Structure 1
């Protein structure tokens, strides 16, 4: 099969999830708690994050849910902020988080583009933080398409972002690979009619991902070998 496009999830796929987003989560709860350690711990626990170990519960809404959903979940714990105000804070901190690449991105993306492939991002993060993260990694120019939950195409596991990528790039969905670290990514890929590749640089483990994936890889650095299979 000769694929003509690759669509990546961002967090847990391009960037190692725990190494990147544990820093974001800790800063978020520190800021919202305004120095009250007990309150920070309790807020973190309410959304599936262990403040002390900086680990995410596998069912944490911080993993695959959109920022507006996270804001709504946190709103009862922050009565002096509306959900809309919390969303602004969540996105602002996400733009500043130091990103940890799951594999060396520039050579990987350069190689995929040299194959003539169109490349895109479909993330449940907001578009502005996504672009800031990519800029920080120095890889924005590799992507033909960047969409977040707020870009107008919906969020995963719905296939809207994925179908917009294939349509806007003039590609057949069956000729596109969706690469992600969560079931949300893979379910969206299957719904769009794309090939699906799971990676293990997020929170989900292979048994959860394998039923929804054509292949499970350790990280995106293994993608070219799979494409050459």
Structure 2
């Protein structure tokens, strides 16, 4: 960490950052495409292609629609590709599916323990995700960490969407912490571009999502194997 700046807050992405992306979202994405495909398996397969799921590996490509887009963007693309649903209705159905699927989430580490240690350092924590605010809160409740998170921002919270700067600037405004004192942690380029656009002090990439060292290294100040390495590889030793 630079001695010229003071770290006061961390703004986390959710999927691929707090949660292992493929273990959490592989099945959910297939269920979402089946819903949008309205019983047509060929259409569902085509929608997964459009979403960025590789047919041979089943993995989601970095910075693809399903990796980085919000629910409304996914619904718009899928309706344009032939889903028989109306965009607004499909957005609501997908948001409901994603919120109900919070119980299926697979965390990358013990979130309650990590967040407890981070807040004990005096750091203010927030979540900025392309998921809905309701889905984010459901996930935080599932892992009993809502008490450690000061601010929750989803694509529908009124601060714009990634990669624009609004989520970081909204977090800054709500906490009174300058962007230069905030570290943004995420798994894809949308997160890093959001952080850069807002003037965040640190851009931290993690490799538990769809991004890779190759896709993130040019945009991130630091790439970590997961948020479990934050304390050892990014934060200074705690004062005792």
Q: TM-score, normalised by structure 1?
A: 0.93
Q: Give ranges in structure 1 of 5+ residues lacking alignment.
A: none
Q: Cα distance, 1:46 vs. partner?
A: 2.8
Conservation of the 8 A alpha-carbon contact between 1:110 and 1:142:
yes
Match of 2:71 among 67, 71, 90: 67
Structure 1 residues 210 and 50 mapped into 2: Cα distance closer, same or farther (>3 Å)?
closer
Conservation of the 8 A alpha-carbon contact between 2:36 and 2:84:
no
Q: Cα distance, 1:125 vs. partner?
A: 1.4
Note the 1:120-199 alignment, pairs <5 A. 120-194=126-200, 195-199=202-206
Q: CA RMSD in A?
A: 1.7
Match of 1:37 among 34, 38, 41: 41
Q: Give ranges in structure 2 of 5+ residues lacking alignment.
A: none
Please say if 1:108 is aligned against 2:140.
Answer: no
Q: Cα distance, 1:72 vs. partner?
A: 0.4
Tell me, in whole angstroms, the C-alpha distance in 2 between the residues paired with 1:114 and 1:169: 17
Secondary structure of 1:227's aligned partner: coil
Conservation of the 8 A alpha-carbon contact between 1:40 and 1:51:
no
Tell me, in whole angstroms, the C-alpha distance in 1 between the residues paired with 2:12 and 2:83: 36
The answer for the alignment partner of 2:211 in structure 1 is 204
Structure 1 residues 26 and 174 mapped into 2: Cα distance closer, same or farther (>3 Å)?
same
Q: Which moves more between the two structures, 86-95 or 75-84?
A: 75-84
The answer for the alignment partner of 2:97 in structure 1 is 93
Q: Cα distance, 1:77 vs. partner?
A: 4.4
Q: Which moves more between the two structures, 50-59 or 129-138?
A: 50-59
Per-residue CA deviation, residues 50-84 of structure 1 (Å, 9 max, x unaligned), is: 46753213353111011111000111345531011
Please say if 1:217 is aligned against 2:234.
Answer: no
Conservation of the 8 A alpha-carbon contact between 1:102 and 1:201:
yes
Give the number of equivalent residue pairs.
Answer: 229
Q: Cα distance, 1:42 vs. partner?
A: 2.4
The answer for the alignment partner of 2:7 in structure 1 is 3
